[in-house]
């Protein structure tokens, strides 16, 4: 069984497989809180078109996926399945943007969909950032401390902002946010730890916005000043995975 975290809930489960029930499409064995059950989900005659962002967003909204907390519930597993596969599709597509043999990371940094905090950045605002991109934005760890990389490329792929981050030359670095106890390490050690952890990373952007946009949660214009790496399940936006590209 694999150990999985979704919506902040950690559980163990086998890979999805065809359901033994005629009225369901998938099933898996789930172990959670000392119990183990077979969970079945999905309509057998419906295609999962998770590579279409609009359909994915509609599915998440219709099924209130961000509120799911019970791994034994079919809806929880359906939401996980849609979003996990979609994450892989977005990463695979974004990876095709990268050439060269430097240690880099491909990041789906933002998009024009509502996030877990019920906020939206307009697609136009993201396009404007890409148009003005100067190749000199820092990559941080969890919105704090000193940079561990820099954003070297930014591109819109549909409603998604996709960025490429490159490792900075090795040097001592403090990863702690201002005013907090220091976390002293090196840039190389940080990237080594990121690589060892595998595909568990998400992304979040830091930006300034117009007065009043915070009130309605819709950001018409932004001035982005950094991208941060953080655990995928902790990212406010569920559509922003990040993947390290090996040499």
Domain ranges of the chain: 2-92, 100-245
**Are 167 and 187 within 8 A, CB to CB?**
yes
The pLDDT-based confidence of 97 (bands split at 50, 70, 90) is very low
Q: Which residue has the higher pLDDT, 53 or 222?
A: 222
Give the per-residue pLDDT at 179.
Answer: 83
Task: Enumerate the β-bridge partners of residue 74.
Answer: none
Residue 52 has pLDDT above 70, yes or no: no
Average pLDDT over residues 201-210: 93
pLDDT band at 247; cut points 50, 70, 90: low
Bridge partners of residue 28, in order along the sequence:
39
Q: When comparing pLDDT for 88 and 185, which is higher?
A: 185
Residues whose CB falls within 8 Å of the CB of residue 136, separated by 6 or more in sequence, listed in order: 150, 151
> Residues 153-175: what's their mean pLDDT?
92
At 67, the pLDDT band (50, 70, 90 cuts) reads confident
Q: Which has more confidence, 164 or 101?
A: 164
Give the integer Cα–Cα distance in Å for 121 and 113. 7
Measured between alpha carbons, how far is residue 246 from residues 75, 142, 183 in Å? 35, 22, 26
Residue 93 pLDDT greater than 60, yes or no: no
Q: State how far the alpha carbon of 32 is from the alpha carbons of 37, 41, 57, 177, in Å.
A: 9, 17, 27, 34
Here the tokens at position 82 are 């849609």
Q: What average pLDDT does this structure show over 9-18?
A: 91
Q: Is the pLDDT of residue 92 over 90?
A: no
Section 123-143 average pLDDT: 91
């Amino acid at each position: 069984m694999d150990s999985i975290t979704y919506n902040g809930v950690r559980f163990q489960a086998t890979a999805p497989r065809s359901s033994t029930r005629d009225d369901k499409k998938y099933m898996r064995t789930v172990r959670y809180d000392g119990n183990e059950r077979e969970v079945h989900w999905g309509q057998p005659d419906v295609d999962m078109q998770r590579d279409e962002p609009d359909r994915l967003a509609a599915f998440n909204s219709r099924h209130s996926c961000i509120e799911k907390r019970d791994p034994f519930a079919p809806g929880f597993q359906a939401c996980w399945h849609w979003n996990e596969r979609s994450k892989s599709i977005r990463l695979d597509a974004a990876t095709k943007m990268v050439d060269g043999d430097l240690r880099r990371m491909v990041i789906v940094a933002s998009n024009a969909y509502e996030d877990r905090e019920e906020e939206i950045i307009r697609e136009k605002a993201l396009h404007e950032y890409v148009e003005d991109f100067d190749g000199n934005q820092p990559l941080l760890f969890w919105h704090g401390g000193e940079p561990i990389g820099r954003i070297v490329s930014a591109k819109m792929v549909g409603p998604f902002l996709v960025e490429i981050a490159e490792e900075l030359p090795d040097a001592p670095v403090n990863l702690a946010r201002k005013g907090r106890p220091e976390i002293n390490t090196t840039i190389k050690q940080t990237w080594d730890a990121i690589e060892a952890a595998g595909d568990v990373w998400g992304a979040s952007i830091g930006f300034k916005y117009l007065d009043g946009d915070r009130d309605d949660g819709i950001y018409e214009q932004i001035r982005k000043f950094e991208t941060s790496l953080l655990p995928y399940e902790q990212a406010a936006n569920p559509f922003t995975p990040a993947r390290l590209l090996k040499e």
